[in-house]
Structure 1
Amino acid sequence: MKKTLIIGASTNPQRYSFLAANRLVNHGYPIVMLGLKEDQVAENQIQTEKPILSDIDTVTLYIGPGHQPQWYEYVINLKPKRVIFNPGTENEEFEHLLKKEGIEILEACTLVLISIGAY
Structure 2
Amino acid sequence: MKKKTLVLGATTNPARYANIAINRLTQNQVPTVAIGLRQGTVAGVPIETEKVPFEDIHTVTLYLGPPRQEEYYEYIVSLQPERVIFNPGTENPEFFRILQKNGIEVEVACTLILLSTKQY
Normalising by structure 2, what TM-score? 0.98
| Matching residue of 2:93 | 92
2:9 is paired with a residue whose SS is strand
- Does residue 7 (structure 1) correspond to residue 23 (structure 2)? The answer is no
1:6 is paired with a residue whose SS is strand
| Matching residue of 1:51 | 52
Q: Which amino acid aligns with 1:52?
A: P
Normalising by structure 1, what TM-score? 0.99
Deviation (angstroms), 1:6: 0.4
Q: Give every structure 1 segment of 4 or more consecutive aligned residues whose post-TM-superposition deviation is greater than 4 Å.
A: none
Deviation (angstroms), 1:76: 0.3
Cα distance in 2 for residues equivalent to 1:63 and 1:22: 18
Structure-to-structure mapping, 1:1-119, within 5 angstroms? 1-119=2-120
Structure 1 unpaired stretches of 5+ = none
Structure 2 unpaired stretches of 5+ = none
Q: CA RMSD in A?
A: 0.4
Deviations 1:36-58 (A, max 9, x none): 00000011100000011110000
Identity %: 54
